[in-house]
Amino acid sequence: MDQKELLDKIRHSAEGIEIPEQLTPQSVEEKLKRGAQQKKIQRRKIMIRWMEAAAVLAIVAAGGTQTELYKQWKEPALSSDADMEKPVAEQDTESSVQPEEVTASGEFKQADSEEELYKTLQELEKQTGSYARGGDIMLLEESAEIATMDAGAADTAANQKVTGEADYSQTNVREAGVDEGDVVKTDGSYLYILKSSGSVRIVDIRETKMKEVAEIQPEKLNESIEDLYLDGDRLMLVTTGYESSMEEAESDMYTVNRYQYTALTVYDITEREHPEMTGRITQEGDYLQSRKNGDYVYLLTQYSPSLGDSFEDSSVMPLVNEQKLAISDVYLPDQTSQPDYLVASGINIQDPENVISSKAIVSGAADFYMSSDNLFICNNNWNDGKSSTEILRFACEDGEITAGAMCELPGFLNDTFSLDEYQGYLRVLLTEDSNGESNSLYILDADMQVTGAIRDLADGETIRSARFMGTMAYFVTFRQTDPLFCADLSDPDNPQILSELKLTGFSSYLHPYGDHLLLGVGYEAEEETGSQTGVKLSMFDISDSSQVEELDKYVIKGASYLPSDYNYKAILADGEKNLIGFVCDGEYLVFSYDEEKGFQNLLTYTMSDWEYWDGDASCRGVYAGDEFYIVDQDEVLCFDMNRDFTLTDRLSWN
């Protein structure tokens, strides 16, 4: 019998095997759908009760490594709604809505005890079964004063390079000087790469031939790595994970605890070949974002309290390093819309175990912006057919997080570039949608009081991109053409629009590019219809703010997809090095800009397999000295910039 014949026989022997009913696509689909309805509950530390001890035993036997979802659908006693007493929280989400007045500004309230917090949350849960709420938006009648703002000069500098003379690229961050985690980091000598398979690889790039020198796996099996930070000889990993456990509460009642957490693990990489863990902190909740300012990392997670039908059955305090937060660290803005918390901790990377401060804000945070001194948390609300945005300010200094003030403004934010703090003032660009679309610019002081505003800009258009540079603001609105607005904000009480440049298409990303230049990355569109015809690069001369000019444009006809629209970290734009790199329709493109010749296409690299999903969004271009690296999902390509971007080496994990 030859091998092929035998293989066929084995394959044939499997054909008569019956597939268990539980595994058929039909029953899987049903169970997943049932699970999806309970998704909100599953994210929490949950409490499931049922009366059949037999089912409980079966669950225990099934082991603790399975996900909640599977447990819930696998066991008959659980999969039947009739047998399972629904958690109170879920029942209440279906109850009627209590209209709640939306006010423009509010105070941070605090509860006196966990019991009181529990009651407030339960009330909130009852009230917010759906998102609709009544009431008009009243503009900024009063503001809370809790802390005064330390108005540091948050310099949104044109140059994102913060390491002086170092000749290598940095992560494209929102705020100069405030680092952000990413999937690739470099220090010029090594690349630190988060691979799709979930480990971190350290690659030596000092020689022409690249060499992997170390691999770091998450500390625990059930963790996945989300972001990397690099600071000299320290490498930090932000990971997420969960732990499930079950305990007997009464003879016929078991509680299933699902503890979802985010961890920051610090490694000493003095010896790149032997990374050593030096410290770690865990914080309950889903990972939202993080920032790093000097030695301090701020970790933001979203925590959902578990609300049972009594205080004893509930868990309302998030854990940081397995310690409950103090009640005095929990804030309850009086107009919050959902009982989830934003948990923020300040951590010194030299001593991560001793968290400097942790705060929890009951808030459904959507957007974040961190300047060098403050964290701004933005919630988008929607009432009576119009959007409003609540902005909460927390001061962040050397890891210490202090509640500041809050306000609510009409309209919605385009992205984090729509907010910017400069010399103690917060500038905000919003698109209002109450009566058709229009746009506004607000300037707020440290108490979150409006000092000046421009409203009713570009009726019928929406903001597509923005960049604040010192006292100037540049922003793009679009319906059929792209007016690039330039505003002077040097007088916080009286902002002025200086010019408006109308162009075809629009920029979805703006980046300062050396002296007096502003790079726009976006789309070309037909002037008459506004329909998109390709991807466009624009270079603007902003030396004369009363007359901003487009110096050159480069259109990639027919191209339609810029993953960087969803993650600005996917863009490399460095005016000093004169390099622009980004992914477009599965190709990594590198450009430079020449005053005489305009945009120069230096490299077009077709990604090996551009059907990547997050692959194209997590692809990064970085440079170190004369080398340009494209870090693709499972490979690193090295190009020599002095030799017309000749491919000189390739390190592949496939």
Partner 1 sequence: MEKETALVRKARRGDASAFAALYQEYYQDLYRFALYTLKNRHDAEDMVGDTVADAWAQMSSLKKAESFKAWIFRILSNKCRMRLKDYLNKTEEIPEDLKAAGRDVEESADVRAAFARLGDEERLILSLNLFGGYTSKEIGRILDLNDNTVRSRQKRALEKMAEYLEK
When the beta carbons of 8 and 271 are compared against partner 1, the nearer one is 8
| CA dist., res. 368 & res. 348, Å (int) | 21
Which residue(s) pair with 225 in the sheet? 239
Q: Establish if 23 lies at the interface with partner 1 (CB under 8 A).
A: yes
**End-to-end CA gap in the chain:** 34
Tell the smallest beta-carbon distance from residue 644 to partner 1 (Å).
31
**Sole window of 3-11, 85-93, 168-176, 496-504 interacting with partner 1 (rule: CB under 8 A):** 3-11
How many residues would you count in the chain?
654
| Cα–Cα distance for residue pair 619/564, rounded to 1 Å | 10
Q: Is residue 9 part of the contact set for partner 1 (CB under 8 A)?
A: yes
Q: Which of residues 28-57 bind partner 1 (CB under 8 A)?
A: 28-29, 32-33, 35-36
With tokens 């009544």, the residue in question is 134
How far, in whole angstroms, is CA 569 from its chain's centroid?
11
Q: How many residues of this chain bind partner 1 (CB under 8 A)?
A: 43
Backbone angles phi, psi at 570, to 5 degrees: -80, -5
x/- map, 349-388, partner 1, by CB under 8 A: ----------------------------------------
Q: 325: helix, coil or strand?
A: coil
Which of 123, 526, 609, 626 binds partner 1 (CB under 8 A)? It is: 609
Residues between 191 and 230 that touch partner 1 (CB under 8 A): 196, 224
d(CA 208, CA 528): 51
233, 515, 614, 626: which one binds partner 1 (CB under 8 A)? 614
| Chain residues 73-92 in contact with partner 1, contact rule CB under 8 A | 74
| Closer by beta carbon to partner 1, 63 or else 164 | 63
Stretch in the footprint of partner 1 (CB under 8 A) among 23-31, 145-153, 311-319, 390-398: 23-31
The residue among 259, 263, 269 whose CA lies nearest residue 305 is: 259
Q: By CB under 8 A, which span of 69-77, 262-270, 526-534, 592-600 interacts with partner 1?
A: 69-77
Could you give the C-alpha distances from 232 to 172, 190, 201, 235, in angstroms and in order? 18, 11, 17, 8
- Give the binding range for partner 1 (CB under 8 A) out of 6-14, 100-108, 174-182, 350-358: 6-14
Stretch that binds partner 1, among 2-10, 176-184, 250-258, 568-576 (CB under 8 A): 2-10
Q: Which is nearer to partner 1, 32 or 647 (CB)?
A: 32
- Do 108 and 146 meet the contact criterion of CB atoms below 8 Å apart? yes
The two tokens of residue 555 are 């259109």
Select 90 or 640, whichever has its Cβ closest to partner 1: 90
In the complex, minimum distance from the CB of residue 623 to partner 1, in angstroms, rounded to a whole number: 25
**Among 232, 529, 613, 644, contact with partner 1 (rule: CB under 8 A):** 613
Q: Edge-to-edge strands of the sheet including 341-348? A: 108-109, 330-333, 357-362, 341-348, 296-303, 286-293
For partner 1, which is the closer residue by CB, 36 or 57? 36
* Contact of 452 with 462, CB cutoff 8 Å: no
Beta strands across the sheet bearing 587-594 = 572-574, 579-584, 587-594, 598-606
Among the listed residues 492, 586, 615, 621, the single contact to partner 1 using CB under 8 A: 615
List the structure tokens of 519.
């790079």
SS3 sequence, 43-82?
Answer: CCCCCCEECCHHHHHHHHHHCCCCCHHHHHHHCHHHHCHH
Q: Measured from the CB of residue 157, what is the shortest distance to partner 1 in angstroms? A: 34
Q: Which of 13, 96, 251, 531 binds partner 1 (CB under 8 A)?
A: 13
Q: Measured from the CB of residue 92, what is the shortest distance to partner 1 in angstroms?
A: 23
Residue 558 contacts by C-beta under 8 Å, 6 or more apart in sequence? 533, 534
Binding segment for partner 1 (CB under 8 A), chosen from 13-21, 483-491, 573-581, 584-592, is 13-21
Phi, psi dihedral angles at 628 (to 5 degrees): -115, 130
Min. distance of Cβ 258 from partner 1 in angstroms? 12
Site for partner 1 in 627-646 (CB under 8 A): 633
For the bound state, the minimum distance from the C-beta of residue 649 to partner 1, rounded and expressed in Å, comes to 22
Closest approach of partner 1 to the CB of residue 87, in Å: 19
Smallest separation, CB 23 to partner 1 (Å)? 5
Residues 6+ apart with CB under 8 A from 207: none
Which listed residue (66, 113, 496, 560) binds partner 1 by CB under 8 A? 66
> For the residues of 429-449, what is the DSSP string, one character each?
EEEE-SSS-EEEEEEE-TT--
Nearest to 521 by CA among 573, 473, 576: 573
Where does this chain bind partner 1 (CB under 8 A)? 1, 3, 6-7, 9-20, 22-26, 28-29, 32-33, 35-36, 62, 65-67, 69-70, 74, 196, 224, 609, 611-615, 633
